[in-house]
Structure 1
């Protein structure tokens, strides 16, 4: 299969995650007149569950999660440029969706910049736009749905 796995991130992974996020998101921050602050990323990282996306010993990216009573939230999902388009993001979203189902949270939620092409991935994975805030779409998927990816025969 994919050979992907999720491993808990350690404090020593913070610099990697911050740099990957900044490199991928800075253009959106600039375009939407938002301020990137390393310190804000670090504080958010400390309060979330952070998992590395790996294939063997190779770290491909990470996902950062938070929860409330109703939902599991994908706060960050970033894959190294060399690994994009190879299924790591889709696989990770499916794993996170299964986590939400097992935890009996009714929804998987995330927020994405309106002009970020990752929105297409999220839509393919069954998330739908449910609201907007300035430059962001709020997206969610019910965990009551069948766990297979919509539109795929597995």
Structure 2
């Protein structure tokens, strides 16, 4: 498979919003949270957004932010039909490489989301909790320049 990331444009926002709403709706319902299209759109505008592709097929998207200490995965969603093909693992490894500039890769995940197991397999550890979320992180040591 030829996975790659393509920078998302504002035209991709509707796809990403719909995918996120569909992927997260059961967790929002389970925990009594309210979905906001406007909230998603505001967050989208302030983040680094990428489409996850296999050749010309869009499989999902990832949304990132960063500070001086960490790269944060804010959203990572795959189309249902594109799950279990290795793209999620590939994306997480790419993000670990990207996080070397900061030193940490961080994310939060709903406590009942089975994706937590994938994150743990790929080196993210639970470092805390907030209400219905686990906070997870992975150290991504800076590579010394040769």
- Bin the TM-score by the shorter chain: over 0.9
Question: Paired residue for 1:67?
Answer: 66
Tell me the distance in 1 between the aligned counterparts of 2:44 and 2:121: 27
- 1:14-61 CA-to-partner distances (Å, cap 9, x unmatched) read 000000000000110010011100100000000000000001111000
Question: Paired residue for 1:96?
Answer: 95
- 1:133 and 2:142 aligned: no
User: Which structure 2 segments of 5+ residues have no match?
Assistant: none
Alignment RMSD (CA, Å): 1.2
Name the SS of the counterpart of 2:96 in structure 1: helix
Q: How many residues align?
A: 143
Structure 2 residue corresponding to 1:117, chosen from 87, 105, 114 = 114
Tell me the distance in 1 between the aligned counterparts of 2:24 and 2:106: 19
- 1:40 and 2:39 aligned: yes
Tell me the distance in 1 between the aligned counterparts of 2:90 and 2:21: 23
Q: 1:119 to 1:145 in 2, by over 3 A?
A: farther
- 1:83-134 CA-to-partner distances (Å, cap 9, x unmatched) read 1011010000101111111xx2110000000000000010011000000000
| TM-score with structure 1 setting the length | 0.91
Matches within 5 A, 1:135-154: 135-144=132-141
User: Which structure 1 segments of 5+ residues have no match?
Assistant: 147-154
